[in-house]
Structure 1
Amino acid sequence: MFRNLIFDWSGTLVDDLPPVLDATNHVLANYGKPTMDREEFRRRFRLPYREFYEELLPGVPLEELEDHFRLGFAESSGKVTPLPHSREKLEWCRAHGIRAFVLTSMDAPSFYSQLKEFGFEPFFEETYAGVLDKRELILNLVSDHGLDPGETAFVGDMTHDIDTAHHAGLTSVAVLSGYTHAGPLSEARPHITVQDLEGLRRVMERPLRSVRPIATVGALIENEEGEVLMVRTHKWGHRWGIPGGKIERGEPSEEALRREIREETGLEVGEVRFVMVQDCIDSAEFHQPQHFLLLNYVARRISGDVVLNDEAQEFNWVSLEDALAMNLNEPTRQLIETQLKDPR
């Protein structure tokens, strides 16, 4: 799929959030500002980090802030560790002849110390550290190394990484293992979203053109008040959609629908009505390239309360009209619009 991968470092290959949070709070405390907990930091931190600090400490020179940050980082008891699957992914790249690079905003001395400590040096053709705005370097990196943009992906955990990939015409790969929550990442519209680097390896190993379309079922589930169930999932870029899944071999589609609804929501449904079939081919909204045949239904809940499994992160009962105002994946939007035209 890709012959070249450019990796971010923090939150993509290594987990350095504990000392980074300590160092950030050290900076804030030096200027009498309230400190942050982990979740507030993840919500607010962004790159380029000069913009982040300008919002919190306007007018303070960046060099002064960096001095305080380095001291806080050095004094932190928080550990920096490789993220799960990092080494395996890099070994896989080397074994398959995939060229690998690093482009990171991390302070250069700290980065090169970690690179050596974790034994990751041999995996990379070139590394770039201390880059405040990655968009300013990415085009030169691609040009200097003769990379074909169509065969190159930038892999990162922050919206700035996604923006950087798009700036250079590269495929953007968002990983959910790092600093930024799935919601803000999805708003940057990455081409591919994966939970971690193991997920990226599986995507790259899949021979796309030789795989047949996958038949799936899904339904607008109505409750007694006429509302429909919307679920939010990482797989669809943290957009809202309907519960459903793949049809197993030998399984009638309506049986598959009832099983998937039961597994994903804990609900039992009664009457089921077929509405439409949709082609969904390599949707940019889905976390990996796939060709789906989506068999869409309407069903009515007869029992049970919603209990989500690990495929969805949030749910809501809403009217069809209110659902259209949500951040929906496109197939769900098409289904709702069709249902509104012909509710039967």
Structure 2
Amino acid sequence: MFRNLIFDWSGTLVDDLGPVIEATNAVLGRYEIAALDREGFRRAFRLPYREFYADLLPGIPLEELEAHFRPAFDAAVTPVTVLPHAREKLEWCAALGIRCFVLTSMDSLAFERQMDDFGFRKHFEATYSGVLDKREIIHRILETHGLDPAETAFVGDMTHDVETARHGGISSIAVLTGYNHAEILAAVRPDITVPDLGVLRDLFDRRRGISRPIATVGALVFDESNRILLVRTHKWGNRWGIPGGKIERGETSIAALEREISEETGLSLTDIRFALAQDCIDSPEFMRPEHFLLLNYTARATGTDVVLNDEAEEFRWLSPAEALAMDLNQPTRTLIKEVALKGG
């Protein structure tokens, strides 16, 4: 477990994406550039943000753009809020004696105001704000505070945070609560990826031996032509696999399977049959170290009109032979070989 955590601010501890998008579109509107929606912004925005604006508004001085941005941000209707699990994560760090820091590109005045408004100042040994390129000072932070790189991680929501960690020789932890889309973050290969800080806390607890393996369900879903449904997800390094997820407390495995398939694909299932159980312990293919007990089933879909949620990037209906030619995660490859090719 890490002894030192350097946190990004926006998108990692607080949710200010709404007002930032409002302010960004106000700036773009001054120069008659079309507004960005939330997904468009998350796919386009990057740090250092001068590079983001250089693409959209070439030749406009950054100082001029910032003069438009700051009042627009202060006037934004969408409030800035603490992200779920952030406060609990910081209190957890304090209880365990983990040293915490902030390194953010956010304007220093706004950052200081938010830190006091949310009562977060007490949690941090030192903070660094208004840093356009975090790579320029990461080594200074480590040296100033005597942080051992092997015991230190940078927790952030953007590719620049991962690049900064790599530049500093420390571990990178990506959270999916902020500015960069999951697929964009996956492309720079963070050391650990978590959906939120609550999962990160649970992961650390498991490494300390506090928790047990996670029980999950998944299904090899067939259509009427005996094709298999595969989905591609960033969670498994953009490999293809089957839909599924965790069993919730008080939920049967079949109920969990029906719920997960409905949430992830919009499909209903019939003819559900247990296939096999697999142990998956700290797979290098998964986005973070985990110990899963995989309960695999086969099932029939009542239709083929798939509606994906945000956990997957795309889907395909394929024959078993075609599926095995894909870049599959290993548990899915094992399941197909054990079931589909044996007439299961």
Confirm or deny a common fold (TM above 0.5).
Answer: yes
Amino acid at match of 2:260: E
Residue in 1 that maps onto 2:140: 140
1:14 and 1:83 in contact (8 A); partners too? yes
What percentage of aligned pairs have identical amino acids?
Answer: 58
2:48 and 2:132 in contact (8 A); partners too? yes
Amino acid at match of 1:98: I
Written as runs of structure 1 = structure 2, the 5 A alignment for 1:41-190 is 41-190=41-190
Residue in 2 that maps onto 1:318: 317
**Could you say if the C-alpha distance between residues 90 and 292 of structure 1 is closer, same or farther in structure 2, counting changes exceeding 3 Å?**
closer
2:223 and 2:304 in contact (8 A); partners too? no
Deviation at 1:151, TM superposition (A): 2.1
Report the more deviating stretch, 123-132 or 312-321.
312-321
1:249-299 per-residue CA deviation (whole Å, 9 max, x = no partner) reads: xxxxxx95x66543432312367666xx765332344354223455767x3
Deviation at 1:189, TM superposition (A): 2.0
Aligned length, in residue pairs: 335
Amino acid at match of 2:258: R
- 2:260 is matched with which residue: 261, 264, 283? 264
1:172-203 per-residue CA deviation (whole Å, 9 max, x = no partner) reads: 22222212222222222223222222222222
CA distance in 2, matches of 1:245, 1:21: 32
Amino acid at match of 1:108: S
CA distance in 1, matches of 2:24, 2:247: 48
Residue in 1 that maps onto 2:40: 40
CA distance in 2, matches of 1:308, 1:333: 24
1:197-251 per-residue CA deviation (whole Å, 9 max, x = no partner) reads: 2222222222455766667664433323232112355654665421356799xxx
1:150-172 per-residue CA deviation (whole Å, 9 max, x = no partner) reads: 32221111122122223333332
Deviation at 1:8, TM superposition (A): 0.5
**Could you say if the C-alpha distance between residues 340 and 64 of structure 1 is closer, same or farther in structure 2, counting changes exceeding 3 Å?**
farther
CA distance in 2, matches of 1:210, 1:95: 15
Q: Secondary structure at the match of 1:147?
A: coil
| Runs of 4+ with deviation above 6 angstroms | 304-311, 324-327
Deviation at 1:83, TM superposition (A): 1.9
Residue in 1 that maps onto 2:265: none
RMSD over aligned Cα atoms: 3.7
Q: Secondary structure at the match of 2:64?
A: helix
CA distance in 2, matches of 1:61, 1:324: 53
1:128-163 per-residue CA deviation (whole Å, 9 max, x = no partner) reads: 111112222222222322222232221111122122
Deviation at 1:28, TM superposition (A): 1.4
1:54-92 per-residue CA deviation (whole Å, 9 max, x = no partner) reads: 111122222222222223223434422222222222222
Report the more deviating stretch, 35-44 or 288-297.
288-297
2:205 and 2:211 in contact (8 A); partners too? no
CA distance in 2, matches of 1:117, 1:150: 33
Written as runs of structure 1 = structure 2, the 5 A alignment for 1:204-283 is 204-207=204-207, 218-232=218-232, 235-236=235-236, 240-244=240-244, 261-265=257-261, 266-269=268-271, 280-283=280-283
**Could you say if the C-alpha distance between residues 295 and 85 of structure 1 is closer, same or farther in structure 2, counting changes exceeding 3 Å?**
closer
Report the more deviating stretch, 21-30 or 262-271.
262-271
Deviation at 1:98, TM superposition (A): 0.9
1:233 and 1:311 in contact (8 A); partners too? no
Q: Secondary structure at the match of 1:316?
A: strand
Residue in 1 that maps onto 2:13: 13
**Could you say if the C-alpha distance between residues 221 and 147 of structure 1 is closer, same or farther in structure 2, counting changes exceeding 3 Å?**
same
Amino acid at match of 1:170: I
Deviation at 1:321, TM superposition (A): 6.2
**Could you say if the C-alpha distance between residues 177 and 278 of structure 1 is closer, same or farther in structure 2, counting changes exceeding 3 Å?**
same
CA distance in 2, matches of 1:93, 1:215: 27
Deviation at 1:104, TM superposition (A): 0.6
**Could you say if the C-alpha distance between residues 217 and 39 of structure 1 is closer, same or farther in structure 2, counting changes exceeding 3 Å?**
closer
CA distance in 2, matches of 1:311, 1:54: 29
**Could you say if the C-alpha distance between residues 321 and 26 of structure 1 is closer, same or farther in structure 2, counting changes exceeding 3 Å?**
farther
CA distance in 2, matches of 1:110, 1:202: 31
CA distance in 2, matches of 1:179, 1:325: 34
Residue in 2 that maps onto 1:301: 300
1:292-344 per-residue CA deviation (whole Å, 9 max, x = no partner) reads: 455767x35275667889895566342256656867544435656x5799666
1:101 and 1:124 in contact (8 A); partners too? yes
Amino acid at match of 2:67: D
CA distance in 2, matches of 1:269, 1:312: 25
**Could you say if the C-alpha distance between residues 86 and 293 of structure 1 is closer, same or farther in structure 2, counting changes exceeding 3 Å?**
closer
CA distance in 1, matches of 2:50, 2:88: 33
CA distance in 1, matches of 2:227, 2:144: 56
